[in-house]
Amino acid sequence: MWTQIVGKVRKTLTPYINHWWNVTLYVSARGLTTSPIPYGEKVFEIEVDFLDHQLLVDTSDGAKRRIPLAPRSVADFYHEVMASLHSLGIDVQIHASPDEVPNPIPFADDRVHASYDPEYANRFWRILVSTSRVLQQFRSGFLGKCSPVHFFWGSFDLCVTRFSGRRAPERPGADAMTREAYSHEVSSAGFWPGAGFDGPAFYAYSAPAPPGLDKAPVRPEAALYHPKLSEFILMYDEMRKAASPETALMEFLQSTYEAGANLAKWDRSALERPVSDTAISAARPQS
């Protein structure tokens, strides 16, 4: 709920970018950040710090505010965040209710959700850091239109999305956000801490899904097609068992992308460039 509040500030004040890329957060050296947000003649940035467990608000004129991250209600957190922004001369009216959750409670009224575990918040962020590094490397092999590696606070996943360049068929009955998100053919992959299955997992899908995708062979051996989600899944715990977890994750990303792109007849020769098999290890600091 706290990241939704932060994300909605960015969504409200940042110019619209296709496929709602203006709403996302990004993995930083301390946690998750909005990146600089324009406001009048200055910019400001909000960062959820999972090292010192604070919400950091910094402006380009040198002003700053710090809000401790500790067990407290969503309502209390919401009121302090908005008051802190106001004290910095930043007045923003957000849609003050969570998205993409069942039975949403307006932030100002939510005294139901009030937990925060710093150890597990830090563990989650460390997984995002490691995953982001592999997703960035995977992204580097694509020449076509591709999203940043970014964190969606509604679905709570870190992902990267490739585009074939072709428009996708209209989705009858889709809401405005879904209609825009899938206006073009995509191949997307990312990490969920847990939703729709037992435990954290990496996922990959093509939209629209070409016929035969559910039967396509993918790697590593632990990867599978989840019929309920219509996505490929690699459980996080299975990835950790691999001799090289980073290599296993890259195999999953590459093989699921290739399965969808080949079946949908993407122009891969125009959209890709070769990536060295040793790129990940070369990018890692040597001991």
Q: What is the pLDDT of residues 220-243, one digit of tens each?
A: 999 999 999 899 999 999 999 999
State residue 173's pLDDT score: 87
State residue 286's pLDDT score: 42
> Alpha-carbon distance 259 to 225, whole Å?
12
State residue 14's pLDDT score: 97
State residue 60's pLDDT score: 98
> Alpha-carbon distance 137 to 31, whole Å?
20
Which residue ranges of the chain lie beneath pLDDT 70? 195-197, 275-287
b/e sequence 156-178, b meaning 16+ C-beta within 10 Å: bbbbbbbbbeeeeeeeeeeeeee
Do 216 and 263 touch, CB atoms closer than 8 A?
yes
Q: By three-state DSSP, how is residue 152 classified?
A: strand
Instruction: Give me the residue spans of the domains in the chain.
Output: 2-116, 119-283
Strand order in the sheet with 157-167: 150-152, 157-167, 184-192, 201-207, 231-235, 224-226
Q: How many CA atoms lie within 13 A of 47 on its CB side?
A: 19
Whether this prediction's pTM lies above 0.75 is answered by yes
State residue 175's pLDDT score: 86
Q: What is the pLDDT of residues 131-143, one digit of tens each?
A: 999 999 999 999 9
Q: By three-state DSSP, how is residue 161 classified?
A: strand
Strand blocks (E) in the chain: 26-27, 31-33, 37-39, 42-49, 54-59, 64-68, 150-152, 157-167, 184-192, 201-207, 224-226, 231-235
> Alpha-carbon distance 98 to 147, whole Å?
24
Task: Quote the tokens at residue 152.
Answer: 């969606």
